[in-house]
Amino acid sequence: MSTELTGAEITVRCLQKEGVDYVFGYPGGAVLYIYDELFKQDKVKHILVRHEQAALHAADGYARSGNKVGVALVTSGPGVTNAVTGIATAYMDSIPLVVISGQVPTPAIGLDAFQEVDTVGITRPCVKHNFLVKDVDELANTIKKAFYIASTGRPGPVLVDIPKDVSQQKAHFAYPEKISMRSYNPVTKGHSGQIKKAAQLILGARRPMIYTGGGVILSDAAAKLGDLVRTLGFPCTNTLMGLGGYPATDRQFVGMLGMHGTYEANMAMQHCDVLIAIGARFDDRVIGNPKHFYNEDRKIIHIDIDPSSISKRVKVDVPIVGSIPDVLEALLKLLKTGKDSPDHSALDAWWAQIDSWRARDCLKYDRASAIIKPQRVIETLYKVTKGAAFITSDVGQHQMWAAQFYKFDQPRRWINSGGLGTMGFGLPAAMGVQFANPKGTVACVTGEASIQMCIQELSTCKQYGLPLKIINLNNRYMGMVRQWQEFFHGNRYAESYMDALPNFVKLAESYGHVGMKIEQPGDVEGALKEAFKLKDRLVFMDFITDQTENVFPMVPGGKGLSEMILV
């Protein structure tokens, strides 16, 4: 016999049924009944952030690193508008989130009530789907749909907007075991004929390339990708979002590709004759201008769960829509059981060419510098953590250096905002990562501009005892902005200089954490070792780095992958 509960009780019961451990949020008038019900139970723990944007980033980091749906709870009006940046960040990177927002009572909707905004209208462009629940009888079913939509197919954020009166009204509670939606049935199995065509192209390749993105991480296909790469002996590159999908320390990995990718990865992408794209979308930061990427002799195989991502920017020859693990399993079966194998002599010649590109050592920097080089900090971070840490980043030069110099051998260890490029993401995302991995080592690589976007979350870290390690690469500039101004705007540094920075050590200490300032290259390793020995404390490390250092290689906007600036 079903039980009659209020909408607020139903909401919390649904979260319990979904096995939700943590909800990241901030209370307000429209969600107080839901907060009251959270207070009455202990299965679902609430994490109080200091800003709604941080709630979304924390839920996002939790989802990315923990392979679960992240959940955030915000109030109406400014609560949900503060959350939009975090929702859009998750949407651009296909991260499964369920966002529960409060709304003014249904009779007041559309009347410009206190703290009312059109949440469904505002979030529609940056969610996978959203709902406004006007009938408490539909609440449980709607929340079930939200978790299903968020976590299946191409993942993404789903928002459920609950008016205050709906959270007070009562209904019989019955949570559905399964959900069926006539309008939403994502394909999982790839077309067998297309997979056969792909196998034929692969076996005939003379200059092959495997190009993978975040889809490999999100679908937990890293092991199958590794099997494919090693079976074929082909070179492999990852996008920024795909790092860790294939081990960075393996010889067949040619580095990240794209705007700040390695010379060897970009040249191999540009000159291959068969390209196998897996869970990647050929975006502008990866291939630059599509007209410069076009090559009539190149054949492209594209595997993706989302049909709208295929041939969106680059026309492909063999599209395969389906779940990446399922498609790779079928492809591997064909390749392993067939009589044919790739042309090894052609492959040897191709590897010789790649190794000649690799010999350019495109990531070299001045290791004898008397000023701390940011690359040195990341290399030392990798050494001190033995490559086993979870690394979050903000957005800018420090993000690119982390991607280039921290060798990710495992998936779900590199957590960053790739699609939206959200400054302020790193610290709250690291909080979510730590909750998802309580015994893990979590470090946030940031810059002095980005960290100030959500620096109030140092308070959240203190409240919950999160022992994060913050690596602040402080060059007193908005570094990537300054780099573009140097290259393309005649050294006119319009508003990129940070001339009123706080004392980060004292600021960290004022929140109850440990602060360190590091100014000499010889002190970098010792400071990092000391910080990581403090296993139960948050340590803010302020590294004073070279103001003039730029990220290389760099493909200028609108140019092709072979038009890199190397020095």
Is 416:399 a contact under the CB 8 Å cutoff? yes
Q: For the chain, what is the radius of gyration of the CA atoms?
A: 24
Is 284:312 a contact under the CB 8 Å cutoff? no
Phi, psi of 70 (to 5 degrees): -80, 145
Partners of 304 in the beta sheet? Answer: 321
Alpha helices in 110-168 (DSSP H): 119-123, 139-151, 164-168
- Could you tell me the sign of the dihedral formed by the alpha carbons of 149, 155, 156, 157, in that order? positive
Q: How far apart are CA 21 and CA 70, in angstroms?
A: 9
Residue numbers annotated as active site: 52, 114-115, 164, 480
Alpha helices in 438-503 (DSSP H): 457-464, 479-488
Phi, psi of 147 (to 5 degrees): -65, -35
CB atoms within 10 A of CB 341: 12
Peptide bond into 186 cis (omega under 30): no
Provide CB contacts within 8 A for 383, sequence distance 6+.
525
Phi, psi of 484 (to 5 degrees): -65, -35
Q: Beta strands 45-48 and 208-212: pairing type?
A: unpaired
Residue 468: half-sphere exposure toward Cβ, Cα within 13 Å? 33
Q: Beta strands 253-256 and 236-238: pairing type?
A: parallel
Amino acid identity at 144: K
Q: How far apart are CA 456 and CA 502, in angstroms?
A: 13
Q: How far apart are CA 166 and CA 169, in angstroms?
A: 5
Q: How far apart are CA 180 and CA 290, in angstroms?
A: 39
User: Tokens 């499964």 map to which residue?
Assistant: 96
User: Tokens 């803010």 map to which residue?
Assistant: 540
CB atoms within 10 A of CB 40: 10
C-alpha closest to that of 554 among 311, 192, 133, 262: 262
- Could you tell me the sign of the dihedral formed by the alpha carbons of 116, 75, 132, 8, in that order? negative
Q: How far apart are CA 31 and CA 39, in angstroms?
A: 12
